[in-house]
Amino acid sequence: MATFKDLKLKPELLQSLQDLGFSTPTPIQASAIPVLLQGQDVVGQAETGSGKTAAFGLPLLHNIDTNLQQVQALVVVPTRELAVQVRKELKQYGKQIDNMKIGAFYGGHAFSEERASLAHPPQLLIGTPGRLTDHLNRRTLDLTFTKQLVMDEGDKLLEMGFEEEIDQLVAALPSQRQTILFSATMPEGVKKLIADSLHNPRFIQATSTTI
* Binding residues for Mg ion (CB under 5 A): 52
Q: Considering the rule CB under 6 A, would residue 51 count as an interface residue with ligand ADP? A: yes
Stretch that binds ligand ADP, among 42-50, 73-81, 101-109, 117-125 (CB under 6 A): 42-50
Q: Considering the rule CB under 6 A, would residue 111 count as an interface residue with ligand ADP? A: no
51 binds, among ligand ADP, Mg ion, none (CB under 5 to 8 A by kind): ligand ADP
Residue 68 CB, nearest approach to Mg ion (Å): 27
Q: Considering the rule CB under 6 A, would residue 22 count as an interface residue with ligand ADP? A: yes
- Cβ distance to ligand ADP smaller for residue 195 or 211: 211
Side chain identity, residue 113 = E
Q: How far apart are CA 15 and CA 13, in angstroms?
A: 5
Q: How far apart are CA 17 and CA 20, in angstroms?
A: 5
Stretch that binds ligand ADP, among 50-58, 125-133, 170-178, 197-205 (CB under 6 A): 50-58
Q: How far apart are CA 93 and CA 57, in angstroms?
A: 8
Residue 98 CB, nearest approach to ligand ADP (Å): 23
Of positions 9, 13, 25, 36, contacts ligand ADP by CB under 6 A? 25
Q: Are 29 and 54 in contact (CB under 8 A)?
A: yes
Catalogue the E-assigned strands of 13-147: 42-46, 73-76, 102-105, 124-127
Q: How far apart are CA 44 and CA 55, in angstroms?
A: 9
Residue 123, class by beta-carbon neighbours within 10 Å (0-12 exposed, 13-18 middle, 19+ buried)? buried
Q: Considering the rule CB under 6 A, would residue 48 count as an interface residue with ligand ADP? A: yes
Of positions 41, 52, 126, 177, contacts ligand ADP by CB under 6 A? 52
Q: Considering the rule CB under 6 A, would residue 59 count as an interface residue with ligand ADP? A: no
Site string for ligand ADP, 184-203 (x = CB under 6 A): --------------------
Q: How far apart are CA 16 and CA 158, in angstroms?
A: 33
Q: How far apart are CA 211 and CA 197, in angstroms?
A: 31
Catalog residues that contact ligand ADP under the rule CB under 6 A.
22, 24-26, 29, 46, 48-54, 89, 211
